[in-house]
Structure 1
């Protein structure tokens, strides 16, 4: 779906990849409904737009609140007149600890935001997308959604659920006007650790060294929007995601052992 002249809803728009998605879409002529739970972060996203634009609206929504999500489409339509696509980008990671050390409250929060938030958005907006000449759903999974990462097993499980749900949705909608894309970012230099409450759970010096090797949020956003515009089935964002995808297909155990070894050195 070419985004020029279209209305696209972006979750997690208060920073990182989400903010860059907003800026990218606006630069390509789309109207954007920016969604986040953090009002101040959304206002900062607005400040990043070079010129004040009526094509941008902000919506403070807790994605774990189904009723709040179900009220969102009419608000977007009131502001923009229609909705043509959604990018479910919002997500959090877990503290870098093993499952037996992770409390159920954090487990539930990760699943509620990453999986159920994506599910609520998808089910809620689908009827509106069916009414458009063409519609698009882009769901952001993760490299961790197909490759196990020790200390991020629940995060990975939530993103694996997003992966399989999105792939199933693609099959279900193949004869409709709605296209579906699933995205697998590798390492991206964002504040997801701090925003997820995982700050301090890894060595700071190592983390700073790693940042220079990561895909920037701007680069990731460009890859994601290109995937949407080209109606791609799956998008691997970043060299690491592409390499590990190939390796995991060839030898899953070896790929998992490589990631486990790398994580043990952090």
Structure 2
């Protein structure tokens, strides 16, 4: 789907990839519905984009709140008249500890934001997308959604659920006007660790302390290109592409390799 003239919802629009997606979509003359839990961050995104409310409308929303997620489409349509797509980008990681030490409150929070938040908004907007001449659902999974990272197992499980949800939606919608894309970012230079309430980053499957981390603007550019080319699957970053190949060749070898790398980073 070409983004020119389309109205697209971007979750997590207040920072990182979500902010860059919003800015680049606006530059391509799309209208953007920015969704974030932080009002000031949304205002900063709009300020950086240099557009008015006729092009960018921010909505403060906890995506894990189903009632509020269900109400969002009507508010968006009231403002813009139509809605043509969504990029479910918002997400958080877990504490850097093993499942045995992770409490269920933290597990529920990670699953609610990463998986249920994506599901709630997809379900809320899908009936409207089916009425449009063309529309697009883009769900951001993770490199951790297809290969395990010790200490981020629940995060990975949530992102793996997003992966299969998205692939299932593709199968169900392939004969409709709605295109579906799953995105697997590798190491991206964002502040996801701090946004997850975990303080300064230590180890992060989406932001390791490495010069290899891809910039958020470049990641957004790759994702938007994938949307406009109706890609089924988008791997963002060299690391994601390499690990995808390695995991296909030998899942056990790839898992052991990641385990060794995570231990080195933790030292």
Please give the range of the TM-score, normalised by the shorter of the 2 chains: over 0.9
Write the distance in 2 (CA, Å) between the matches of 1:208 and 1:179.
Answer: 32
Which residue of 2 is the match for residue 258 of structure 1? 257
Q: Deviation digits for residues 109-149 of structure 1, max 9, x if unmatched?
A: 00000000000011110000001000100000000000000
TM-fit CA distance, 1:20: 0.3
Cα 1:132–1:43, aligned 2, differ >3 Å: closer, same or farther? same
Which residue of 2 is the match for residue 78 of structure 1? 78
TM-fit CA distance, 1:52: 3.6
Which residue of 2 is the match for residue 234 of structure 1? 233
Is the CA contact 1:10–1:87 (under 8 Å) kept in the aligned structure 2?
yes
Is the CA contact 1:95–1:201 (under 8 Å) kept in the aligned structure 2?
no
Write the distance in 2 (CA, Å) between the matches of 1:50 and 1:203.
Answer: 34
Write the distance in 2 (CA, Å) between the matches of 1:201 and 1:8.
Answer: 30
Write the distance in 1 (CA, Å) between the matches of 2:185 and 2:4.
Answer: 24
Unaligned 5+ residue runs, structure 1?
none
Q: Secondary structure at the match of 2:149?
A: coil
TM-fit CA distance, 1:208: 8.0
Q: Secondary structure at the match of 1:184?
A: strand
TM-fit CA distance, 1:155: 0.1
Q: Deviation digits for residues 211-243 of structure 1, max 9, x if unmatched?
A: x22011101111111111111000000000000
Which residue of 2 is the match for residue 218 of structure 1? 217
Q: Secondary structure at the match of 2:188?
A: coil
Q: How many residues align?
A: 263
Which contiguous aligned blocks of 4+ residues in structure 1 show a shift greater than 6 angstroms? none
Which residue of 1 is the match for residue 2 of structure 2? 2
Which residue of 1 is the match for residue 40 of structure 2? 40
Which residue of 2 is the match for residue 132 of structure 1? 132
Q: Deviation digits for residues 91-112 of structure 1, max 9, x if unmatched?
A: 0001111011111111000000
Which residue of 2 is the match for residue 62 of structure 1? 62
Which residue of 2 is the match for residue 175 of structure 1? 175
Which residue of 1 is the match for residue 161 of structure 2? 161
Which residue of 2 is the match for residue 244 of structure 1? 243
TM-fit CA distance, 1:75: 0.8
